Amino acid sequence: MNKKICLLPGDGIGPEIINEAVQTIDAVARRFGHTFSCKTALIGGAAIDAKGVPLPAETLAACKASDAVFLGAVGGPKWDQLDNKSRPEAGLLGIRKELELFANLRPAILFPELAGACLLRPDIVRAGLDIMVVRELTGCVYFGQPRGIETRDGERVGFNTMIYREHEIRRIAKLAFETARLRRKKVCSCDKANVLDVSRLWRDVVSEVHKDFQDVELTHMYADNAAMQLVRDPVQFDVLVTGNLFGDILSDEAAVITGSLGMLPSASLGAKSPGLFEPIHGSAPDIAGQDKANPLAAILSMSMMLRLAFGLEKEADAVENAVRICLKDGYRTGDIMEADKILVGTSKMGELVRERI
Ligand code: NAD
């Protein structure tokens, strides 16, 4: 297979972890006989410094000409004074919008070797944790119109519009069911159908789409209950699908209970344009350039790319197994370090993964 990947290292630890992820995919290419051509482009603070904008036109063109986009992280104190539209983060929002990425897939996996880092009681996660949160990314109250702050009857009023069109619900529900088919075949759809009209439509449309996926079990849950169940009994979830607002909160909650920010990958997918793959953590300016960053979230994002963008199941499994074996062999970066384990830096951890592919 021959694929083009656009790399967006960004800021802080972005370039360091991207470097390890790229070497990992090179190892996959050698072992399985593929060719991955990588082209690097500027985004975030690095793009502001070089080009004056967080998302230069040539970066966008390079992304659109690729089969997949791989991002490190953006942002840092150097650019914190800039207004919202000029900040590094605007580059990330811009690329999501331009590539029409309507779905965000975030696995929250607790590797048994890292059970000690989990924030939940051992008896709650004894059976492990493997949840995929599928969040709608381009609709809901974040983008709905009208929105604003106005003065009415002598006082300020703030308002946003929570809105979903049927086709937006249909396409994210379909993706959730397809994702579940490759996993444990369970979808839980989260909404607030007890109080919101938009959620009643959400529930109806998800149930309609389910008719084409009868081999997958569908349940509905109110989002506030889902927030509780994620800490009470997270093992019950396989795929959790929800709108943009609830997904923002529930995906962070699902991730944080694993206790390992440096271990969590993500994928954002659109209908046709290249998908965007990135670790969920930020640019970690406090440890940038010190060979301390955990590269595993980036390496696991690379494996999501192999699986979801290129359909390379065996190759993705090889990367995930290599990460598992590294952990089993006792290697840890500082963020996941425990007593009796072997502390390694960013580049060593990358090398250890490559040796195990
Ligand atoms: P952060 O995720 O960068 O860091 C939070 C803490 O986790 C820090 O102590 C950091 O050292 C640690 N950490 C994060 N990733 C790590 C890794 N791979 N290995 C080891 N430790 C790791 O979040 P923050 O400090 O809130 O934000 C820093 C900057 O990153 C800000 O400018 C923020 O806007 C930006 N940010 C970017 C993204 C993105 O690019 N997707 C996401 C979140 C935050």
Instruction: For 103-138, write each residue's pLDDT tens digit.
Output: 999 999 888 888 888 888 888 887 778 999 999 998
Which residue has the least CA distance to atom 16 on ligand 1? 262
Q: What is the pLDDT of residue 185?
A: 98
Stretch 151-170: mean pLDDT: 97
Residues whose CB falls within 8 Å of the CB of residue 173, separated by 6 or more in sequence, listed in order: 189, 205, 206, 209, 210, 241
User: Looking at ligand 1, which atom is closest to the CA of residue 44?
Assistant: 40
| Ligand 1 pocket mutation, candidates 48, 263, 281, criterion most atoms within 8 A of CB | 281
Of residues 146, 64, 132, the one with CA closest to residue 97: 64
Q: How far apart are CA 225 and CA 212, in angstroms?
A: 27
User: Are 245 and 137 within 8 A, CB to CB?
Assistant: no
Of residues 110, 77, 20, the one with CA closest to residue 298: 20
- β-partners of residue 3 are 36
Q: How far is the CA of 283 from the centre of ligand 1 (A)?
A: 5
Q: What is the pLDDT of residue 84?
A: 79
| Ligand 1 pocket mutation, candidates 261, 299, 344, 353, criterion most atoms within 8 A of CB | 261
- Evaluate: CB of 3 within 6 angstroms of ligand 1: no
User: Looking at ligand 1, which atom is closest to the CA of residue 278?
Assistant: 41
Q: Taking CA 131 as the corner, what is the angle to CA 130 and CA 134, rounded to the nearest 5 degrees?
A: 150
pLDDT tier, 179 (very low <50, low <70, confident <90, very high otherwise): very high
Q: Taking CA 288 as the corner, what is the angle to CA 283 and CA 291, rounded to the nearest 5 degrees?
A: 125
- Evaluate: CB of 283 within 6 angstroms of ligand 1: yes
User: Looking at ligand 1, which atom is closest to the CA of residue 295?
Assistant: 18
Residues whose CB falls within 8 Å of the CB of residue 190, separated by 6 or more in sequence, listed in order: 220, 221, 222, 223, 226, 240, 241, 242, 246, 250
What does pTM read for this prediction? 0.92
Residues whose CB falls within 8 Å of the CB of residue 174, separated by 6 or more in sequence, listed in order: 209, 212
Q: How far apart are CA 282 and CA 260, in angstroms?
A: 13
Which residue has the least CA distance to atom 20 on ligand 1? 293
Instruction: For 3-27, write each residue's pLDDT tens digit.
Output: 999 999 999 999 999 999 999 999 9
Q: How far apart are CA 28 and CA 34, in angstroms?
A: 8
- Evaluate: CB of 26 within 6 angstroms of ligand 1: no
Catalytic residues, by residue number, are 142, 192, 224, 248, 252
Q: How far is the CA of 201 from the centre of ligand 1 (A)?
A: 36
Q: How far apart are CA 332 and CA 295, in angstroms?
A: 11
Instruction: For 130-149, write each residue's pLDDT tens digit.
Output: 999 999 998 999 889 999 99
Amino acid letter for position 7? L
* Mean pLDDT computed over every residue of the chain: 95
Q: How far is CA 285 from CA 121, 158, 271, 293, in A?
A: 31, 34, 34, 10
- Evaluate: CB of 92 within 6 angstroms of ligand 1: yes
- Evaluate: CB of 294 within 6 angstroms of ligand 1: yes
- Evaluate: CB of 262 within 6 angstroms of ligand 1: yes
- Evaluate: CB of 282 within 6 angstroms of ligand 1: yes
Angle, helices 296-304/313-328, rounded to nearest 10 degrees? 160
Q: How far is the CA of 286 from the centre of ligand 1 (A)?
A: 9
